[in-house]
Amino acid sequence: MKPFPLIKQEKIIVATIALHNFIRKSGVDDEEFDKCDRNPDYIPEGQEECDIEEKMSIHSHRKIEDNGYMNRVRNQIASILMENRNK
């Protein structure tokens, strides 16, 4: 999927925050919000928490596999930002 222009991304974020705040201020009962409010460690169904050892193994493998990974990601982000700056 083609990425949205930066200005459109900003508008999407602001709209999402406004909608979230409206729902909260309106006092609308929302079962999912309530579950999260009651339990700060709540994880929605189907999104089981990974075992910490599994996470560390994945992270270590990636680091060993490619030390330049984050450098490439940063360069890609910088390039995209510079390309979209003048649009």
Would you state the pLDDT for residue 46? 66
Confirm if 70 and 77 have CB atoms less than 8 A apart: no
Percent of the chain past pLDDT 90, that is, above it, reads 3
Percent of the chain past pLDDT 70, that is, above it, reads 69
* Arithmetic mean of pLDDT, 11-29: 84
CA–CA gap between residue 19 and residue 13 (Å, rounded): 10
Q: Between the CA atoms of 47, 52, 54 and 56, what dihedral angle is there, to the nearest 10 degrees?
A: 130
Residue 72 reports pLDDT greater than 70:
yes
Would you state the pLDDT for residue 15? 92
